[in-house]
Every structure is written in structure tokens, then in C-alpha cells.
Amino acid sequence: MIDGGAGIRTPWDTPPAPGEAVEVAEGVLWLRLPLPMALDHVNVYALDDGDGWTLVDTGMSSRTSRAIWDSLLSEPLRGKPVRRVVVTHHHPDHMGLGGWFQSVHGAELLTTRTAWLFARMLTLDEQDRPPPETLEFWRRAGMDPKILAERADERPFNFADMVWPMPLGFTRLQQGDTLEMGGRRWDVHIGHGHAPEHATFWSRDDALVLAGDQILPSISSNLGVYATEPEADPVADWLESCTRLAGLARDDQLALGGHKLPFTGLPLRLAQLIENHRGALARLERHIATPKTAGACFAPLFKRSIGRAEYGLALVEAVAHLNHLHRAGRATRHLNRDGALEFTACRMAAGREAGGDGAAS
């Protein structure tokens, strides 16, 4: 049973329009940039350091985003320089213009070591067609053969298409650091699961939390496994992170996330994020009473129809949850005749579930 506490509340009903800002606390501006996907926006934040600004996240690199930033830098940022860019994690909608602010505006880039290494590696790894390792990963995941054939002959997603070239040099953030931004001292706490070494920032001086994508109010961040690390268990990383961060959470804190609206009610939201994945694992475990590939496991995980636009993210999240069951000893796996991994719930685990234990290991 989840204790609702004070509940989840969003103090603002509408976000800032592109080129505009909302002051969510003294010296802290909430800005929003468009994204060319179903999740059509990313939130970024500007913190007033007196003689300049610290930005938290940047949006994707595109002509549209750069034009919006040019407008923002004039007003509402009043022409003061951006001296630092803090990036919560390596994904393109957050890191996309970090290199632009470094190269064009002379800003310092602060992020975790893993975020910087991943982002720079991926911007340099431009591909015209999916490499053999990716095709094999998709086959083993049970990707629909028609979709696999189409994607094998298409240019894949490339960081280089959406992330400005990243120059050498960054300042590392790590667990336990304290950072001065916007007239406040912020403790750095690292989360995992959605992205490795995802930085969050917890103000010592008031009730603000810069949460990135680690804690969002009404959607759960994607937990995906990719060809780069096919045996990864981001679900375990996510559950550990949510449990640890819950020890810092208070009802009065205003969480400033990477998407959707700022909100209060962090203890409840973190409990929900944990329970949502435990419930998904329990449903998945029942679903694989007979052998299933990841591509055949969308229904119990998402409880809705998955279209082509969401197919890739759904597939990598299905792999993540199956990997978790396998590593927890709740499922076995074998290669079928098509070269895809099929997962089957262990009899002991299935028996526990029938007895009502739906918790993830």
C-alpha cells in the first residue's frame, strides 16, 4: 500500500512558451524547448549567478533550438553570459547543445564522467546503416521481422544528428559533490537506470530539486537495454536509485524535472515509480509462463497498443525487464530456432506469484 501523503501537485498549469521563461523560485527560471518526437518538449533551467547564468540541460541541437536559445539569451536572460552548463545525463535532449555552449559561448561543461564519455563516444560513432552487432541484438530480442528488414536498410538514430560536436574538456560531477548555483548550495546525488550516472541536485538552502529524467511526475522514464551492453539490468539500477533517493525526499520539495510540469510530492512519486516496475515485473512473469521473446511482451508491460513510433523504445524496455527476471532467478532463457531469446518463468517464481508476492527481487 502506498501512503499518499500530501499527494502530487503541479503549481503551474501551463509551461513557458518557446522563448519565454517562468520564475519558479528566486533566481531560477524554467524554460522549455521543442523536441521532434512524441514527447515533444524538454525542460531546461537557468540559474542566476549574478554576473552570469548556469544552465541545467540544453535541448537537442537543431536550428530551431539554437534560434530559441538566441532569443532566450537576449530576453529573458537579459544578455548576461552563460558561464556554465550542467548536464544531468548524456541523452541528446539534455546534452545536445552542451558543445555549442562550450565552443560558441565559452561556457564550462559540468556533468558526470560516464555521461560525458557516452555522449562524446556516440557523437563520433556515426553510422549510415545499423552495424552487425545491432542487427544481432534486434534478432535476439525477437524484433518483428518486417520491422527488422526495414531498419536494416535505414540510417539508424545517430547522436551526431542531434548533438553538437563536443570539444575536449569537461568538469566532472560525482556522488557527494556540492555545487553552487543560483545563490544556493546543491548536493549532487547520482541515479541510474534511465541513464548511467544521471546527476540530480538537491538544494541545501530551500526546497528545490533539479531531477532531470530521474524523477518525472506523470510518466516513467524509459529503462532500456541496447547492443552496447546486452546483458545490462537497468531495472535493478532504477529500483536501487529510487529507493536511495526516497531517503532524501520531502513533500514540500519542488521537483524540477526534464519533462512535464514541476511538482511537489516526491515521496509519493518515488514510491509509485518503484511500485510501477514491481507490478510490471509481476505481470511479465505471469505472461512468460510459456516461452516469450521480448518482442512478444509489450502487452503486460505497457497495457496499451505500441505503434511503430514507440516500437524501438518498447523493445529495449522489454529486454530490460526480462533481463531483470533472468538475473533475479525468476526466469530462464534459451535461443529458439529463429535465433531469438525466449524467456520462461521459473516454476518456483511462478508459484510465489500465485501466492501473491509481486515484489521485484
User: Residue 358 above 60 pLDDT?
Assistant: no
Residue 347 has what pLDDT?
Answer: 66
Report the alpha-carbon distance of residue 91 to residue 94 in Å, rounded.
6
pTM: 0.93
Residues 20-48: what's their mean pLDDT? 96
User: Residue 4 above 60 pLDDT?
Assistant: no
User: Residue 114 above 70 pLDDT?
Assistant: yes
User: Residue 5 above 80 pLDDT?
Assistant: no
Residues 308-330: what's their mean pLDDT? 96
Neighbours of 60 (CB within 10 A): 23
Residue 137 has what pLDDT?
Answer: 98
- The per-residue pLDDT for range 279-297, each reduced to its tens digit, is 999 999 999 999 999 999 9
Question: How high is the mean pLDDT of the chain?
Answer: 94
- The per-residue pLDDT for range 158-214, each reduced to its tens digit, is 999 999 999 999 999 999 999 999 999 999 999 999 999 999 999 999 999 999 999
Beta partners for residue 210, in sequence order: 201, 256
User: Residue 253 above 60 pLDDT?
Assistant: yes
Residue 326 has what pLDDT?
Answer: 98
User: Residue 361 above 90 pLDDT?
Assistant: no
Residue, of 37 and 107, whose pLDDT is higher: 107
E strand residue ranges, 117-269: 171-173, 178-181, 184-191, 198-203, 208-212, 254-257
User: Residue 257 above 90 pLDDT?
Assistant: yes
pLDDT-derived band at 18 (thresholds 50, 70, 90) equals confident
The DSSP H or E segment spanning 56 is strand 53-56
Domains of the chain: 22-276 (3.60.15.10), 282-354 (1.10.10)
- The per-residue pLDDT for range 118-165, each reduced to its tens digit, is 999 999 999 999 999 999 999 999 999 999 999 999 999 999 999 999
User: Residue 68 above 50 pLDDT?
Assistant: yes
Residue 38 has what pLDDT?
Answer: 87
Q: Which residues, other chains included, contact 141 with Cβ-Cβ below 8 Å and sequence gap of 6+?
A: 293, 294, 295, 315, 316, 318, 319, 340, 341
Q: Give me 47's grid cell.
A: 540559474
User: Percentage of residues in the chain with pLDDT exceeding 70?
Assistant: 94
Residue 360 has what pLDDT?
Answer: 32
User: Percentage of residues in the chain with pLDDT exceeding 90?
Assistant: 91
